[in-house]
Amino acid sequence: MFSKILFATVALALVSGPALADAGHGGARAYGEPGDARKPARTIAITMRESDGKMMFIPSKIEVRQGEQIKFVLRNNGEIDHEIVLATLAENLKHGAEMQKNPDMEHDDPNARRLSPKKSGEMVWKFTKVGEFDFSCLIPGHREAGMTGTIVVTTKTGAL
């Protein structure tokens, strides 16, 4: 058990090392920072499911204003486990490749949640940087089956 956690931690550190290194303190990343559940947040519901060999997030495109804190209310309506990992596209592609090699890698990060079938969960994230970011299910094969989406963070006035 311990070795599994240690291994996952090391693997994650390898994957997210550069992002964390330039992020400074407080868990800040290129795509924002972990939210504070005690502070106001706009709620966005995301459903995970699979159908006809495809896997998906609904919705798969989300728009956010810079500085907004979002409470993602997550629901797995599928028949198998799914997860959501919020990151830059480059990070998620790299992390996804790691997951192909180590499918049992588990996430306990403020930017990721894994849900069993018919379960719900929450994730609070503050989007502090303008840009286009990725959210994907990195369980092997799922992103490839369509389980990915985009978050566009615009300036406070709505410009990119």
Q: Which residues bind Cu ion (CB under 5 A)?
A: 82, 137, 139, 142, 147
- Closest distance to Cu ion from the beta carbon of 96 (Å): 11
Q: How far is the CB of 6 from Cu ion (least distance, A)?
A: 25
**Residue nearer to Cu ion on the CB measure, 112 or 139:** 139
What's the rounded Cα separation, in Å, for the pair 27 and 20? 7
**Least gap, CB of 28 to Cu ion (angstroms):** 27
Closest CB 21 distance from Cu ion, rounded Å: 29
Closest CB to Cu ion among residues 66, 76: 76
CA distance 47 to 58: 5
Question: Which residue is associated with the tokens 């596209």?
Answer: 89
Q: Mapped to the 3 state alphabet, what secondary structure does 88-122 carry?
A: CHHHHHHHHHHHHHCCCCCCCCCCEEEECCCCEEE
Shorter beta-carbon distance to Cu ion: residue 29 or 82 = 82
36, 69 in Cβ contact below 8 A? yes
Which residue number, 82 or 113, has a Cβ lying nearer to Cu ion?
82
Q: Which residues contact 121 (CB under 8 A, 6 or more apart)?
A: 74, 113, 115
Backbone Cα Rg of the chain: 15
Residue among 34 and 146 whose Cβ is closer to Cu ion: 146
Least separation, in Å, of the C-beta of 142 and Cu ion?
Answer: 3
CA atoms within 13 A on the CB side of 122: 10
